[in-house]
Amino acid sequence: MGTSWQNLVVAFDEQGLQSLAISASDAVQSLSRPDGPRSNITPTQLHDLVWSIDICPDSGEELSLVLHELGATVWSNGVAPRDPACVAHLHPPTLIPSVVTELAIAASNQSMDSWDQAPAATELELHLMGWLAQLAGLPSIASGIMTSGGTASNVLALTLARSLAGSTQGVDVLKTGLPEVARSWRIVCSDQAHFSVQRAAAQLGLGRDAVITVATEESGAMSVAELDAALDELKRAGYRVFAIVATAGTTDLGVIDPLAEIAERAAREGAWFHIDAAVAGAFLLSPELRGRLSGIEKADSITIDFHKLWWQPFNASALVIRDAGLFELLRVKSSYLDRGDEIEGMVNLVGRSLDTSRRFDAAKVVATLRTLGRLALAEMLESVVALTQYAGDVIEAQPALRLIAPPASVMCVFDIPGLGTDDIRAIQQRLLARGDMVLGRTEIHGRAALKFTFLNPLTTRADVDRLVAMVLREIPS
């Protein structure tokens, strides 16, 4: 039988912290795993193995045994983001400062919805958001909120934009719903923008058809000429563009839209200008890369994911807005939580968020920033961007491969001329099934393509050469 439940409640006395440290050591030991990006266990075998776990027995087991079982069953058969052959997604290896801070976050269990549940944590999150806004070049009235991810940040940004559009019509959308005139409201983004823009339109009652996509240049960046044409056409048809979304780091090609030029169009239209910088927002840390984000300082809102190129554990994203006062558009007062009669200096962050209870994820970000510092993080960023450029050069030098577009950030997308979609899919699936490589697969211009995504700053050029060689060996002769 497991340890008495009384001894499993986290306590902050000497004995309680010692017990926590011992269990944390057991958890670390459970993380040992074989080499490679994943095991070669089949999906059916994995299902049977995991489902053999008795989720909730009548009598519990010793925690050390439970942790060992999770290690042998789950962690050893998961994905290893640190492995150089784990290159499919924006899925980073994590940093020790953030990982160990996760333990303190869970143990202290601050709930970020109200000040009285998280007084110091509230101030630290606000401090981080102020720093992030300043880093982006926004004015002193800017601030933000931590969210669960880029999708949540984008949805929150467009929720604010929709509420502001309603307020200009004298309508409180959150209270009375969409006015009739909302049938004419439109959101404009590129055809490479993240699908969360459409998801937001659907959730906001506007419908996915309210999202107008603009064609991109061959590079994958939004075409300003096509944007101008779309805006003119919408105006002639009697539609109102209330939000324009630019992308700083598209999901497939990692391309950054021409932010400054799009900002000019948004200002001219009186539209909310949102930048989805979930991928490339980290470039703000690097003097070498920051120039690629020229125009970000003109945004009304910015999505930045810390769990991508800031190497944080999931979840950790942020939405920063130009005028923090506009968060009042979201606020719904409650009798038990956000009453509106707080003493001076108290901020209840639930008024800024679409969530109520939230984790104190800002702490792990701050721990990382303070431990590594800007120069080290910039070096890591510049390393993975340069590595991706090198991968593009290697692929271009291979007659059997074709680079889709020059790498713009950390994604390198390529095709195999002469192979059909089924053959390309089979290559990706064989490498995954054998546990040799977690390789990305996408579709560009209606044709299947393969993708390397480099988020591991420890990956070398020799690793890149090896990955390309692995793909070449899979091509049928």
Cα dihedral: 101, 103, 104, 106 (round 10): 120
Handedness of CA 251, 252, 257, 262 (dihedral sign): negative
Residue 291 has a pLDDT of 97
- Domain containing 130 equals 111-359
Question: Does residue 33 sit within a domain?
Answer: yes
**3 state SS of 213:** strand
Tell me the CATH number at 309.
3.40.640.10
**Count of the separate structural domains present in the chain:** 3
Cα separations (Å) of 156 from 170, 316, 327? 21, 15, 10
Alpha-carbon Rg for the chain in angstroms: 24
Closest CA to 186 of 239, 130, 229: 239
Question: Does residue 100 sit within a domain?
Answer: no
Tell me the CATH number at 388.
3.90.1150.10
Are residue 355 and residue 242 in the same domain, yes or no?
Answer: yes
402-403 β-sheet, strand order: 86-87, 438-444, 447-453, 411-415, 402-403
Mean per-residue pLDDT, 234-249: 97
Are residue 351 and residue 436 in the same domain, yes or no?
Answer: no
Are residue 348 and residue 389 in the same domain, yes or no?
Answer: no
Please tell me what DSSP assigns to residue 147. E
**3 state SS of 243:** strand
Tens of pLDDT, residue by residue over 375-434, are 999 999 999 999 999 999 999 999 999 999 999 999 999 999 999 999 999 999 999 999
Q: Which amino acid, one-letter code, is at 339? A: R
Tell me the CATH number at 58.
1.20.1650.10
Position 1 confidence tier, pLDDT thresholds 50, 70, 90:
low
Closest CA to 280 of 260, 259, 250, 252: 250
The two three-digit tokens of residue 365, written as one number: 């970000």
Are residue 142 and residue 242 in the same domain, yes or no?
Answer: yes
From CA 392, how far away is CA 407, in angstroms rounded? Answer: 6
Tens of pLDDT, residue by residue over 68-103, are 999 999 999 999 999 999 999 999 999 999 999 999
From CA 219, how far away is CA 133, in angstroms rounded? Answer: 29
Are residue 326 and residue 212 in the same domain, yes or no?
Answer: yes
Last residue of a domain, one of 336, 359, 382: 359
**3 state SS of 179:** coil
Question: Does residue 458 sit within a domain?
Answer: yes
Mean per-residue pLDDT, 321-336: 91
Tens of pLDDT, residue by residue over 428-472, are 999 999 999 999 999 988 889 999 999 999 999 999 999 999 999
Residue 4 has a pLDDT of 85
Tens of pLDDT, residue by residue over 249-290, are 999 999 999 999 999 999 999 999 999 999 999 999 999 999
pTM here is 0.96
Are residue 214 and residue 319 in the same domain, yes or no?
Answer: yes
Question: Does residue 285 sit within a domain?
Answer: yes
Last residue of a domain, one of 359, 394, 416: 359
Are residue 242 and residue 351 in the same domain, yes or no?
Answer: yes
Question: Does residue 92 sit within a domain?
Answer: no
Are residue 345 and residue 226 in the same domain, yes or no?
Answer: yes
Cβ density class 123-161: b for 16+ within 10 Å, e for less: ebbbebbbebbebbbbeeebbbbbbbbbbbbbbbbbbbb
Counting Cβ atoms within 10 Å, is residue 446 exposed (0-12), middle (13-18) or buried (19+)?
Answer: exposed
Q: Which amino acid, one-letter code, is at 316? A: A
Cβ atoms 254, 241 nearer than 8 A: no
Tens of pLDDT, residue by residue over 6-60, are 888 999 999 999 999 999 999 999 997 778 999 999 999 999 999 999 999 999 9
Cβ atoms 277, 249 nearer than 8 A: yes
Residue 128 has a pLDDT of 98
Contacting residues for 283 by C-beta, under 8 A, at least 6 apart: 248, 289, 290, 292, 293, 309, 381, 409
Last residue of a domain, one of 330, 359, 388: 359
What DSSP letter does each residue of 374-430 carry, written as one string?
Answer: HHHHHHHHHHHHHHHHHHHHHHHT-TT-EESS--SSSEEEEE-TT--HHHHHHHHHH
Query: E-assigned strands of 12-105?
Result: 86-87
Question: Does residue 85 sit within a domain?
Answer: no
Are residue 300 and residue 384 in the same domain, yes or no?
Answer: no
Cα separations (Å) of 473 from 70, 354, 413, 426? 35, 48, 18, 13
Closest CA to 261 of 285, 287, 231: 231
Cβ atoms 320, 144 nearer than 8 A: yes
Are residue 378 and residue 349 in the same domain, yes or no?
Answer: no
From CA 257, how far away is CA 189, in angstroms rounded? Answer: 10
Position 2 confidence tier, pLDDT thresholds 50, 70, 90:
low
From CA 329, how far away is CA 437, in angstroms rounded? Answer: 47
Question: Does residue 199 sit within a domain?
Answer: yes
From CA 356, how far away is CA 117, in angstroms rounded? Answer: 12
240-247 β-sheet, strand order: 143-147, 317-321, 301-305, 272-276, 240-247, 185-190, 211-214
Contacting residues for 252 by C-beta, under 8 A, at least 6 apart: 192, 220, 411, 413, 442, 444, 451
Are residue 419 and residue 352 in the same domain, yes or no?
Answer: no
Tens of pLDDT, residue by residue over 101-137, are 999 999 999 999 999 999 999 999 999 999 999 999 9
Question: Does residue 430 sit within a domain?
Answer: yes
Are residue 324 and residue 403 in the same domain, yes or no?
Answer: no
The residue with tokens 């970020």 is 112
